[in-house]
């Protein structure tokens, strides 16, 4: 699974937030920007009822976290 419970010495509970990653130093490379192909649900599938344009800011869900993204259309 992707959810854990951990006891970390010297780390207060208030310093930990949902979506953070616990990993060995240097074992992952964080990214703030990427290109993706996404499937947008139709109205009949429970998705959008209106079109969206460049700079639309939807919520994206990745495993145990969600982030606000920005859509840049060609």
What CATH number is given to the structural domain containing 19? 2.40.30.10
pLDDT attached to residue 12: 93
- Measure the N-to-C terminal CA separation of the chain; round to a whole number of Å: 37
How confident is the model over 14-29, as pLDDT tens digits? 998 877 888 899 999 9
Instruction: Give the number of domains in the chain.
Output: 1
Q: Which positions of the chain have pLDDT values less than 70?
A: 1-2
pLDDT attached to residue 1: 47
């Amino acid at each position: 699974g992707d959810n854990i419970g951990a006891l970390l010495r010297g780390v207060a509970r208030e310093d930990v937030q949902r979506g953070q990653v616990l990993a060995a130093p240097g074992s992952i490379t964080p990214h703030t920007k990427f290109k993706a192909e996404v499937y947008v649900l139709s109205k009949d599938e429970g998705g959008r009822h209106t079109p969206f344009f460049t700079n639309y800011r939807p919520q994206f869900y990745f495993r145990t976290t969600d982030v606000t993204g920005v859509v840049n259309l060609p």
